[in-house]
Chains A and B, each alone.
Chain A
Amino acid sequence: MSKDIENIFKQKFENFESAPSADLFDKIQNARSKKKRAIWIWSSAAVIASAGIIGLLLIDFDSEKSNNREITQLEIGLLDNTELNTASENFENQNNEQSTSNIAEGLLKKQNNAFDQVRTPNVGLPSLENEKLDKTPLKASNESTSPQKQIANAQLADLFQKIASKTDNTNLEGGTLYHRNLVQQLSEAPSIVSKSMSDLSSNLEVKPNDLTLNDESNSDEKVQETDFSENDNLITKEETEEKEDKNKKLPIHKLVDKSRWSISASAGLGIGGRSLSGNSLYLENRNNTECQQLSNAVDLRLIYDISPKWSIQFGINRAERNENFFYEESDKLITVYREEERTETVIHPVLGTYTRTYTVTVEEEQLEEGKTYNSNNVYTNVTIPISLERELYSNKYVAVMARSGILIGISSKASGENLNQENEVIKLNSETYRTSGINFAHIGIGAALRASDRVSLIAYPEYRFGLNSAYNGTIINQREFAFYTDLGIRIRL
């Protein structure tokens, strides 16, 4: 009865058919083309991003620094009376031409120290730009001063003016100043610089004596100051109004105590693959049985700004590359041996007829149906990334960065199955994987969007590739590669 029921079920369902939805074939085709397109897009994006980043890293962006460049943010330290005194000494040591640019030069020399201590002013962005002032000593006279130095001089003077005039909103213990579009204006109008310096002295309430300037030795200066006042009068009303308008637009913030350190946490999906060495048949078998699937990575980093534009990063990274393994073995003939008990009847002339039982080993050939293997392979790597990051562009809200570096392996494992060179299915966890050493290099280009003073949201697509084989001590060279989209957050400490 039991067998009957089984047969009935088998018979009933063997030819059971049901029509799927009419559009299922279209869905299948769409899914296949999407899959293919995704692989192409990821691969192309990885190649383009890699080429672009290499190109960008090779370009010396410093050489592009020009007078037209905007100062997006500048952080300066306090110039106390002592510093002003030193500045005035410089002032006295100059030639008889008592141009206020000499004062600025003295201040600039001191200010160089302050810039040496500049912390990345970035409020969340990885390394918002600090305008690098020309730190070479300025020449005494305006005539011999290069345009770039004049600009630096002008910047400094103007910044002091702004600090002094906006003391309510500026922390003079180390004021932070946002300054835009004034470079050209100041370089073209030295008289404004002079005005700035005189304003600076008065607004900071630094008496002439504090500057150790005596009336006798600096009589020319007085005359000069008078001249500047006259020059001020020469500035037309329109120019003054225009300047005021621009000044109103300057956002001046209180200084936030920031360090050079940031932390970043990101995670994302991606797609990977592996390049293989071996004979063409083996490669074909591997390629036909393995299909890449969505991978993922998590990244945690500590970032230290070594300069306004460059930072070094290190941390921990965990990446998981997934693939599907599907393999159907061919049917094969196998030889089996079994014990068989046989009975024979013996007719003996003396003993008569009797039955004898004996055991024989029978050899048989059987067709063994090939197995089907279907498993998900997971390659997991835990590494320490060490990277160098270069800021390519930044403004108040966004920054674009590129980074490249190495990944030092600390743990590596794999689970699942694949084919060995004998076309046998092997368990991946039985293989010896390379764990320590510089296993990967990575390259990426990212963007940061400022969310608050300290926090930025980051998107950092990255391509990583194996520098050596994933396997230890085998003749198969399997180098992993993957493209990940890291999305996360970066926090200025």
Chain B
Amino acid sequence: MKPTKQSTKTNQLDEQQLIEGCKNNDVHCQKVLYEKYSQKMMGVSLRYCNSRMEAEDVLQDAFIKIFDKIRTFKGTGSFEGWVRKIVVFTALKSNDKRISKFEPGDLENTTEQSLDAAAISNLETSFILDVMRRLPEGYRTVFNLYAIEGYSHKEIADILGVTDVTSRTQYSRAKQQLIKMLAKYGIERT
């Protein structure tokens, strides 16, 4: 996925050059890299945090880590994926205590509710984000990791230190609660 906004400087340097420059601690390259990814990563950070201020703190810590650890990037995978992973993990770390509140739940007790997909797709992303923020911390984290980042429940279980079942339960409940909340805010059920 190509970035939507690119500065002139970015155009002059390809990603490999940027990475090499950052590895050599070149501030110019760091700035270009930051400009290239900061907005997208702010979007990621906002999904995990309760406020914009908190999300900026996470983004700041994540970019410090990115610049410090860029030497460890071996270039085998997507650089954006690597950056995103660091942002996600930094956000998770900042929410560490809240995440530890996970408790195994009963998957069978959850009931699926339906919602008009088209109605959701018409909603503004910022509105959905606001609704997502109303989810309990644990629900939101699992929902983000599974539905948006694309991690499997086993991977989520490893990351968060919980069981597969817990991850599945949390996700299921998160989705149900999200649907309820979206419905409450004006989306008609089908």
Instruction: Report the separation of the CA atoms of residues A101 and B163 in the bound assembly, to the nearest whole angstrom.
Output: 90
Binding site for A on B (CB under 8 A): 1, 4-5, 27, 30-31, 34-35, 38-40, 42-43, 46-47, 56, 59-60, 63-65, 67-69, 71-74, 76-77, 82, 85, 89, 93, 112, 114-115, 117, 120-121, 125, 128-129, 147-148, 150, 155, 158-159, 175, 179, 190
Q: Which of B64, B72, B73, B175 contacts A31 (CB 8 A)?
A: B64
Which residues of A, 66-80, contact B by the 8 Å Cβ criterion? none
Q: Would you call B43 and A17 a contact (CB within 8 A)?
A: yes
Q: Which of B1, B38, B59, B129 contacts A14 (CB 8 A)?
A: B1
Q: Which of A11, A27, A328 contacts B85 (CB 8 A)?
A: A328
Q: Which of B39, B68, B179 contacts A19 (CB 8 A)?
A: B39
Q: Would you call B38 and A24 a contact (CB within 8 A)?
A: yes
Closest to B46 in A: A18
Contact A29/B27 with A12-B128, A371-B158, A374-B89 known, Cβ cut-off 8 Å: yes
Q: Would you call A31 and B60 a contact (CB within 8 A)?
A: yes
Contacts of A371 in B (CB 8 A): 155, 158
Instruction: Report the separation of the CA atoms of residues A9 and B115 in the bound assembly, to the nearest whole angstrom.
Output: 13
Q: Would you call B77 and A331 a contact (CB within 8 A)?
A: yes
Contact A17/B42 with A27-B60, A328-B72, A328-B85 known, Cβ cut-off 8 Å: yes
Closest to B25 in A: A32
Closest to A31 in B: B64
Q: Provide a sorted-by-A list of 26 A–B residue pairs whose CB atoms are within 8 angstroms.
A: A5-B179, A8-B117, A9-B128, A9-B147, A10-B147, A13-B125, A15-B4, A16-B43, A16-B46, A17-B42, A18-B46, A19-B42, A24-B56, A25-B38, A28-B64, A32-B67, A288-B71, A289-B72, A291-B68, A331-B76, A371-B155, A372-B85, A372-B89, A372-B159, A374-B89, A374-B93
Contacts of A14 in B (CB 8 A): 1, 148
Contacts of B114 in A (CB 8 A): 1
Q: Which of B43, B46, B117, B128 contacts A4 (CB 8 A)?
A: B117
Q: Would you call B31 and A8 a contact (CB within 8 A)?
A: no
The A interface, classified by DSSP as helix, strand, loop or mixed, is helix
Q: Would you call A5 and B175 a contact (CB within 8 A)?
A: yes
Q: Which of B39, B60, B148, B159 contacts A18 (CB 8 A)?
A: B39
Q: Would you call A28 and B63 a contact (CB within 8 A)?
A: yes
Contacts of A228 in B (CB 8 A): none
A288 vs chain B, min Cβ distance (A): 5
Nearest 3 CB-CB pairings of A with B: A16-B43, A4-B117, A17-B39
A130 vs chain B, min Cβ distance (A): 53
Instruction: Report the separation of the CA atoms of residues A288 and B72 in the bound assembly, to the nearest whole angstrom.
Output: 7
Contacts of B125 in A (CB 8 A): 12-13, 16
Closest to B114 in A: A1
Contacts of A24 in B (CB 8 A): 38, 56, 59-60
Instruction: Report the separation of the CA atoms of residues A9 and B143 in the bound assembly, to the nearest whole angstrom.
Output: 10
Most chain B CB neighbours (cut-off 10 Å) among A10, A17, A288: A17
Q: Which of B30, B69, B121 contacts A326 (CB 8 A)?
A: B69
Q: Would you call B128 and A18 a contact (CB within 8 A)?
A: no
Report how many residues on chain A are interfacial, defined by Cβ distance under 8 Å: 38
Contact A32/B85 with A13-B125, A20-B42 known, Cβ cut-off 8 Å: no
Instruction: Report the separation of the CA atoms of residues A489 and B39 in the bound assembly, to the nearest whole angstrom.
Output: 50
Q: Would you call A32 and B68 a contact (CB within 8 A)?
A: yes
Q: Would you call A328 and B4 a contact (CB within 8 A)?
A: no
Contacts of B4 in A (CB 8 A): 15, 17
For the complex, is A6 an interface residue (Cβ under 8 Å from B)?
A: yes
A455 vs chain B, min Cβ distance (A): 38
Contacts of A13 in B (CB 8 A): 43, 47, 125, 128-129, 148
Instruction: Report the separation of the CA atoms of residues A326 and B60 in the bound assembly, to the nearest whole angstrom.
Output: 17
Instruction: Report the separation of the CA atoms of residues A184 and B148 in the bound assembly, to the nearest whole angstrom.
Output: 85
For the complex, is A327 an interface residue (Cβ under 8 Å from B)?
A: yes
Contacts of B60 in A (CB 8 A): 24, 27-28, 31
For the complex, is A136 an interface residue (Cβ under 8 Å from B)?
A: no
For the complex, is A82 an interface residue (Cβ under 8 Å from B)?
A: no
Contact A327/B72 with A5-B179, A17-B39, A28-B34 known, Cβ cut-off 8 Å: yes
0/1 interface trace, chain A 356-376, chain B, CB 8 Å (1 if under)? 000000000000000110100
Q: Would you call A330 and B76 a contact (CB within 8 A)?
A: yes
Which residues of A, 409-454, contact B by the 8 Å Cβ criterion? none
Closest to A18 in B: B42
Contacts of B128 in A (CB 8 A): 9, 12-13
Instruction: Report the separation of the CA atoms of residues A25 and B121 in the bound assembly, to the nearest whole angstrom.
Output: 33
For the complex, is A2 an interface residue (Cβ under 8 Å from B)?
A: yes
A349 vs chain B, min Cβ distance (A): 50
Instruction: Report the separation of the CA atoms of residues A18 and B64 in the bound assembly, to the nearest whole angstrom.
Output: 19
Instruction: Report the separation of the CA atoms of residues A27 and B125 in the bound assembly, to the nearest whole angstrom.
Output: 28
Q: Would you call B117 and A5 a contact (CB within 8 A)?
A: yes
Instruction: Report the separation of the CA atoms of residues A90 and B120 in the bound assembly, to the nearest whole angstrom.
Output: 110
Instruction: Report the separation of the CA atoms of residues A371 and B155 in the bound assembly, to the nearest whole angstrom.
Output: 9
Which residues of A, 1-58, contact B by the 8 Å Cβ criterion? 1-2, 4-6, 8-21, 24-25, 27-29, 31-32, 35
Most chain B CB neighbours (cut-off 10 Å) among A8, A15, A20, A288: A20
Task: Using A9-B120, A374-B89 as known contacts, list a sample of 20 further A-B pairs with CB atoms less than 8 Å apart, ordered by residue number in A.
Answer: A2-B175, A5-B175, A8-B120, A9-B147, A9-B148, A13-B129, A13-B148, A15-B40, A15-B43, A17-B4, A17-B43, A21-B56, A24-B59, A25-B63, A29-B30, A31-B60, A289-B72, A328-B85, A331-B77, A372-B85
Q: Would you call A5 and B72 a contact (CB within 8 A)?
A: no
